[in-house]
Structure 1
């Protein structure tokens, strides 16, 4: 029986799901990096979330590895080139948390446009300020999405009933528009966007892609949402765009550096500025992290593992 090491906390369903397809799970959510180095050679499978980077040095210890499964969407912490070289299959599960990301994006947008986060705090202080909390509607605006994969499409689907236009820009040739969102050129994205929402993976091309120059290219002043990876949108770029008024308000589920006790002096100054802004809404990277998605991610991963293992078996 194929043995699979699980090194991050997972929904309890992962164990029976793996056993059902003939995989023996070793659930070790408290394992240390040093321990992973010591025992990885005993396993054909590895399931991870975000505990550690899977670099070439660590992967060299997994001599028997047939597959690695990432319990989530992003695979930026995994050395994909090493896996390709060694013919180790890599799985992720964007289908498992795309619905959660779609809902969270719309929730943050509604909160930001209608100042709900501010009004709630003011009323608790017995401040009844109606005019100051007058908001804006999504209807009639153009929402521009950068990235139109699983996450972008989920957002567009949920926006379809709001009476807004959804356009999307994606450099991948295999991505198509649909009834909820229309693919456009970068020029049209810059021309029409009122609300910009980021849904791209982190890679060498996208790192710090949305910088001050990029944001200044939009014709209108925009609302900005980042549900992708913090490193695609540096602290400095957000601050400069807020200060200039190019960004009217920002909703951020991810940050350039999410280990807040390790911020550099420059990052710390920019982060403090963001925290001082009433037009900035922050959540702790929970956009895809609902109770439902926690389980659904397992179902998606195990289904992919099952298909892969059956294909391997049929070849042997």
Structure 2
């Protein structure tokens, strides 16, 4: 299938860790060979929207708000600059022309390819640790362009327990305050990494439908980071979204992992009623071992062809991008009400 037809299936990817890599290595820019996600690989994969997570590495010591600010600076310098060239996604109005997928077309002088539209870039915060116990910092996050908030990474912080915290606690008092502030601001909530108890407390209290940006099905692969069936059903009932991830240990418990292994997760979530709630959150640049056939965003068109061998065009287009775009077009804040 030629590039023009493939471009009709634009992709949305709800999670990558490019900014953390940039923070840890000042030599890394948006075209660095060490990155899975680059402008070139996004265009190659027909990625219409990439979410860039702000994850504060444990290497940096105690997380501080200045670490968040630094990654936002890197986002602006490398991702949104003239060299990066991506468009920031802040408001639902930005998506009014969402059917205009990024594409590469031949230059009229025959000198190569050029882009006609740049992908969007959305900012998320992966873990509230660096907000330093102050829910008011959520306001600054929102003002600086963050639109998606995850309360934890894997372990406990001042707001909540993560899924790998053995005590399995839920939200703290300040965590409840943070959720309330996110509701007031219109910050969307991400339940990937949350403890089971924390998951249910966020589902109960969130004003807008939450998402799991990068989690798979526990019934298919019993890693704690994956979602139990009742959690999947709860997200579906709230009209949230589930971003299947390419972390190999979340896909298959042992052995070589290929792109086909993701089909079991897709099939299971669809069987639970989630066909219109599936999307992808690759975790590119946060992956130690890559799925064969899904090593970087440029592999998405080939993955789409694999999906089309088993599912309809409408379903595949939904999973690749349309389900995520409909969610954002409905739930992002409106510029007129800000």
Q: TM-score, normalised by structure 2?
A: 0.32
The structure whose Rg is larger is 1
